[in-house]
Structure 1
Amino acid sequence: MTNKRARMPVALGQRIRKRRLQMAMTLQALSRACGVSVSYLSQVERDNAVPTLGTLAEIAAALDVGIDHFIATPRQVDSVTRAEERRRFSVAGNSVVYERIGADFAAHELSCFLLNVPPSYRSETVRHSGEEIVFVLEGEILHMVDGQSFLLRAGDSMHYLGQQPHSYSNPGDAPARMLWTGKMAHPATPTILGPAPAGGLQATGSGSGPSDGALA
């Protein structure tokens, strides 16, 4: 049976900086291409901030590579992934442990991961192109999307546009586990994302709905 322990985190910021310099891009140029602020990109390159997979996908696309260029994600080329063969990985500075669900065949558009989120974890707030669907398998996840908070429990799901500012956290005392699926839309000519469009937010399940609580 394959060892499913999490891989050691990788030096993410240094790899992003190295690739940017290889392409002779300034931080300002990268910011314009991926829609992420210069100040945040600088923090990422200095390993003072850890981007979500969605944000990393935007940065990678602007640098003309996939996220596998920056993090050692287990590659799965077959359509079927056996439970005992699925390997875990993490990103430097991030306590979330990921499990890759989707395959890595040519021209694929969807990305899919299982996220194991420890208690009290809180992600940064991001905005990017594309869309995301999350489905909570265990525990509780508090999602903030476009200024609204949604407490999702096991069996609840949420679908929203990536252009809406969003973040998530685990407000409970126990680990949470959720399925994340996303499609990152990359225009031929990258542009800075504008204000989040109206609508595009759906949450389903008995535990979903606006909450008065803020992120823990």
Structure 2
Amino acid sequence: MVTTIEKDTALVRGSKIRSLRQRLKLTLDETATAAGISKPFLSQVERGLASPSIYSLEGIANALGVKVQYFVDTPSEERSVCRANELKFFGFADSANLFARMTNLPAGRQLEAMLVRMPPGQKRSEVTTHAVEEFIYVIEGHVSLTLEDKTFVLLARDSAHYESTVPHSWANTANKESVVMWVGTPTLF
């Protein structure tokens, strides 16, 4: 006898599989073939009408480029939410900036976000990250962003999006602390 909880779990898991498959622009047939299962079975799994074995789920996960945990883990506050009162700023010996992580970093996440507090009159500093793309949003103050040999002054509520392979640096050009939100995608290698 199948319980309501098991039906709900199958439906949620199936929806996650379908959603990811569609985001990747893969057909049912392509995904089923890569997963080593039949197209009708995958269709039933996606609609919550069938539950895959761990072996089949592993095949589906591999076909979609994720770990099995992607389909098994449920959202939790510890993994998904960062409370403002729990932000902890930290620094590095070679930087006057302070940083606070705004995201939790479970395996497989594609984004990392940080708050950066820059003291007034800060010297230009090269920004080194392990990101492929970066996005910054100026919350307070003025920030001078240099990409290669071009410099842009960003005021509060301005933003910039760029590839981190481009030589870049930041400087606080305000006479008070500037606060920036930084978001980046980790490298894939």
TM-score of the superposition, structure 2-length normalised? 0.55
- Cα distance, 1:82 vs. partner? 1.1
The aligned length equals: 112
How does 1:61-140 map onto structure 2 within 5 Å? 77-121=78-122, 122-124=124-126, 130-140=132-142
Contact kept, 8 Å, 2:120 with 2:174, in 1: the verdict is yes
1:179 equivalent to 2:181? Answer: yes
Instruction: Give the TM-score taking structure 1 as reference length.
Output: 0.48
Q: 1 or 2 for the larger relative contact order (CA 8 Å, sep ≥6)?
A: 1
What is the CA distance between 1:124 and its match in structure 2? 2.0
Instruction: Give the % identical residues.
Output: 31
Q: 1:154 aligns with which of 134, 149, 156?
A: 156
**Deviation of the 1:185 alpha carbon:** 2.0
RMSD between aligned residues = 1.9
Displacement of 1:77 after TM fit? 4.3
Change (3 A) 1:128 1:93: closer
Amino acid at match of 1:87: K
Match of 1:78, SS? Answer: helix
- CA change 1:149–1:185 in 2 (3 A) is same
CA–CA distance in 2 between the matches of 1:95 and 1:167?
14
C-alpha separation between the residues in 1 aligned to 2:152 and 2:116? 18
Secondary structure of the residue that 2:151 maps to in structure 1? Answer: strand
Give yes or no for contact 1:126–1:165 (8 Å, CA) kept in 2.
Answer: no
Partner of 1:144: 146
Please name the residue that 1:212 is paired with: none
Task: Summarize deviations over 1:160-183 as a string: whole Å, max 9, x none.
Answer: 011111001012211100100011
Structure exhibiting the larger radius of gyration computed from Cα positions: 2
Question: Structure 2: where are the runs of 5+ without partners?
Answer: 1-76
